[in-house]
């Protein structure tokens, strides 16, 4: 079995977690695949180095990712391109997308022995300005702090769903429903549902609330022309931000991706336990 072992940041705490994982993997008949730049921090005869990150994922059977939620999102999208499942080990703070915390490294044994389930997560394809992007968590559109209120229409299959005046809007997958959308007042959605959550950001009407839509069909966000030609808005896709001018109407198209992110979960994994532990625990 080939195990890709990936991380974006090699701080002391991350390296300590990776050392423990390598130690556990050494007890099994498997090869560890790592990037050449990161493997220099570790020494083990079972480590094979590659310069190309895609090559690591393509040659792997399972992708182990150590880091925070941002790191897991990044590699989950990369692994989805090659239909590879990922196992997230929390090396950050909240670690909501991880299936294993740093004090639960022994769960690695369960994964290697095949005692796990795979959760397939919806992803989105975003098209604007002739470019295409993929989102696992969310797509956020909001105004510049100095800009006028953002006015927009949201349509599905050509039919108007809603019109808002607000600071912005969040299009969230079920995986991303516990992130920015939740902070903005959106609902928590079961990870395995095929739905998209629309959550306005600071809407200027009291009646405006989140909506949960079926993910089939194309969603279209049309930004209405601003009175101020210097106004700008930002589109953020899984945290990566792009700046756009509001001097003319803009349309952003959002559709369900043909790819899914495959998350490995231990047999005793419980989404609702995670909600209580990660999001409710501090309130009890």
Domains parsed from the chain with CATH numbers: 2-114 (3.40.50.10330), 123-258 (2.60.200.30)
| Main-chain phi, psi angles of 203, to 5 degrees | -65, 155
Distances (CA, A) of 156 to 103, 114, 118, 159: 45, 41, 30, 5
Distance CA 26, CA 169 (A): 47
DSSP result, the chain: -EEEEE-S---HHHHHHHHHHHHHHTTSS-EEEEEHHHHTT---TTEEEES-HHHHHHH-SEEEEEE-HHHHHHHHHHHHTTT--EEEEE-SSS-TT-SB-GGGTTHHHHHHTT-EEEEEEEEEEEEETTEEEEESSEEEEEE-TTSPPEEEEEEETTEEEEEEEESEEEEE-TGGGGTHHHHTTPPP--TT--EEEEEEES-SSTT---EEEES-S-EEEEEPPPSSTT-EEEEEETTEEEEEE-SS-EEEEEEEEEEEEEEEEETT--HHHHIIIIIIGGG-
Tell the burial category of 45 from Cβ atoms under 10 Å away from its Cβ (0-12, 13-18, 19+): exposed
Distances (CA, A) of 48 to 38, 75, 87: 11, 19, 19
pLDDT per position as a tens digit, 249-260? 788 999 999 999
| pLDDT bucket at 284, cuts 50 / 70 / 90 | very low
User: Quick one: pLDDT at residue 208?
Assistant: 84
pLDDT per position as a tens digit, 98-110? 998 888 889 999 9
Q: Give just the sign of the alpha carbon dihedral 151, 173, 209, 276.
A: negative
Q: What's the mean pLDDT when you consider all of the chain?
A: 89
- Among 244, 229, 219, smallest CA distance to 129 is for 244
User: Quick one: pLDDT at residue 12?
Assistant: 82
260, β-bridge pairs: 122
For residues 27-36, average pLDDT? 90
Identified catalytic residue from 31, 52, 69, 138:
69
Say which residue the tokens 């949201």 belong to.
Answer: 154
Check pLDDT > 60 for residue 247.
no
pLDDT per position as a tens digit, 182-238? 999 999 999 989 999 999 999 988 878 899 999 999 999 998 876 676 777 889 999
pLDDT per position as a tens digit, 127-178? 988 899 999 999 999 987 777 888 899 999 889 999 999 999 999 999 999 9
For residues 274-282, average pLDDT? 76
54 counts as catalytic:
no
Distance CA 56, CA 3 (A): 9
Tokens of 282: 């501090």
Distances (CA, A) of 215 to 125, 173, 197, 253, 259: 11, 9, 9, 13, 13
């Amino acid at each position: 079995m080939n195990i890709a072992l990936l991380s974006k940041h090699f701080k002391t705490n991350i390296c300590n977690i990776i050392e423990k994982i390598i130690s556990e993997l050494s007890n099994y008949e498997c090869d560890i695949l790592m990037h050449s730049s990161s493997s220099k921090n570790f020494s083990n005869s079972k480590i094979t180095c590659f310069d190309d990150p895609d090559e690591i994922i393509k040659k792997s059977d399972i992708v182990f990712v150590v880091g925070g939620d941002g790191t897991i999102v990044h590699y989950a999208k990369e692994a989805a391109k090659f239909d590879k499942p990922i196992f997230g080990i929390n090396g950050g703070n909240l670690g909501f997308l991880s299936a294993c915390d740093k004090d639960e490294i022994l769960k690695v044994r369960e994964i290697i022995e095949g005692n796990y389930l795979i959760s397939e997560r919806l992803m989105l394809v975003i098209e604007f300005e002739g470019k295409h992007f993929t989102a696992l968590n969310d797509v956020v559109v909001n105004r510049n702090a100095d800009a006028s209120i953002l006015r927009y229409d949201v349509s599905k299959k050509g039919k108007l769903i809603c019109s808002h005046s607000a600071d912005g809007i969040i299009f969230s997958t079920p995986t991303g429903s516990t992130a920015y959308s939740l902070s903005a007042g959106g609902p928590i959605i079961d990870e395995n549902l095929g739905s998209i959550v629309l959550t306005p950001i600071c809407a200027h009407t009291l009646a405006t609330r989140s909506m949960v839509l079926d993910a089939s069909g194309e969603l279209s966000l049309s930004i209405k022309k601003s009175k101020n030609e210097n106004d700008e808005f930002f589109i953020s896709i899984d945290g990566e931000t792009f700046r756009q001018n509001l001097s003319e109407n803009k349309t952003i198209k959002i559709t369900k991706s043909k790819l899914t992110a495959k998350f490995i979960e231990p047999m005793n994994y419980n989404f609702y336990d995670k909600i209580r532990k990660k999001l409710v625990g501090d309130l009890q």
